[in-house]
Amino acid sequence: MPNFEPLQKAIPLAPLKLAALEGSLDFAEKVNAHLVDYRHLNPTHEAGSIAYKGYAADTYLLKCACPRFGTGEAKGIIGESVRGTDMFIMVDVCNFSLTYTVCGHKNHMSPDDHYQDLKRIISAANGKARRINVIMPFLYEGRQHKRTKRESLDCALALQELVDMGVSNIVTFDAHDPRVQNSIPLQGFDSYMPTYQFLKALIQSVPDFRIDNDHLMIISPDEGAMSRAVYFSNILGVDMGMFYKRRDYSTIVNGKNPIVAHEFLGDSVEGKDVIIIDDMISSGESMLDVAKQLKERKAARVFVCTTFGLFTDGLAKFDEYYEKGYITKVVTTNLNYRLPELLTKPYYQEADMTKFLASIIDSMNHNVSINHVLSPTEKIHKLLDQYHQR
């Protein structure tokens, strides 16, 4: 049950509206259902009061679309008034399952296409909304967040462009490098972590899961995931280990320097379950190599927890490593589009983020502090207390 106390003492900024682009519609419908439940269960707000106009609605989803012409060009359409509303636009830039036709040829939508559609819906609002907020779970161009040579800074440019179009707040999850928010220092930028949802998914799906220093260890697959692993290991009270990647910087393959080897730093993992935690599985090559090396070091079971499961090279390698016993569980959130076949795999476990995001939206709409949502520490301690009592 969400914590309603901060919301009971605040008036919403404006009537709430969710504008879900097609790629995120299924996810948005679940978030909307939680919001409807929250506001019909909240006993302190009087639906008949003018201060709470539109508060307890049957749905908060806005009618919007981005139809395309035969040339592949598109336009944004909003099918109802947004004047004076607190508008939250949801977009999944990773949903490649959507297609459109260009002169008779079928194109799959790329992150660039989704980003353009986002701007079209912002433009269609025509400055009439009281406030515009963008919910972009996978941050567009988030991996191109810094410049190491003569190259573009795509993520910073995109954030600045959204702010210039009137966006007040940008909500994302597990940003590859949250320091990219320095490009828009005067605007709202929040990056949330799914640590609590990972732990809850593991406890529910692994009956003999044991959380203590003798049976569990947290692993960072590279230097970039260190902060996630440090937080997870500290709050669980278990040891942490880390791999670092040795790369061949003289060669570029598929836009990146190939990994020569993974080197391990940490105590022995022999006989322990290990959790590898990271922000995403892209091709999965480095994640699987880390899992294999942990098993070669005699780890008991390997659980992989990542916010975004992209699986750009398919699932065949994961199937193979599961059959060989290198991995036991792969946990990802439902924040981005996932291959339908992934959901049927015996090793896959979903970490549901819809209720969490609904709480974030509700708190932002009331203009109350989101510290109770931002930090999952208290919720994790409660979950651990329940686990130990059980």
CA gap 28, 204 in Å, rounded: 24
Residue 105 has what DSSP assignment?
Answer: E
Residue 222 has what DSSP assignment?
Answer: S
Place of tokens 């040795």: 246
In Å, how far from its chain's centre is CA 310? 11
Per-residue pLDDT tens digits for 172-222:
999 988 889 999 999 999 999 999 999 999 999 988 888 888 899 999 988
Beta-bridge mates of residue 217:
239, 274
Q: What is the pLDDT of residue 307?
A: 94
Instruction: Please state, as a whole number, how many other Cβ atoms lie within 10 Å of the Cβ of residue 291.
Output: 27
Nearest to 349 by CA among 323, 322, 376, 373: 322
Q: What is the pLDDT of residue 29?
A: 96
Q: What is the pLDDT of residue 302?
A: 94
- Output the CA torsion 371→376→381→383 (10° steps): 130
Q: Residue 56 corresponds to which tokens in the numbers above?
A: 């307890």
CA gap 351, 330 in Å, rounded: 10
Mean pLDDT of the chain: 88
Place of tokens 């291959």: 339
Whether the CB-CB separation of 177 and 141 falls below 8 Å is answered with no
Percent residues over pLDDT 70 in the chain? 91
Q: Residue 12 corresponds to which tokens in the numbers above?
A: 């919403």
Residue 181 has what DSSP assignment?
Answer: G
Per-residue pLDDT tens digits for 261-305:
667 888 888 999 999 999 899 888 888 989 999 999 999 999 999
CA gap 188, 360 in Å, rounded: 13
Residue ranges in the chain modelled with pLDDT below 50:
1
Q: What is the pLDDT of residue 1?
A: 47
In Å, how far from its chain's centre is CA 347? 20
pTM more than 0.75? yes
CA gap 65, 19 in Å, rounded: 9
Per-residue pLDDT tens digits for 129-149:
999 999 999 999 988 887 778
Residue 258 has what DSSP assignment?
Answer: P
C-alpha distances (whole Å) from 375 to each of 192, 231, 235 are: 8, 11, 12
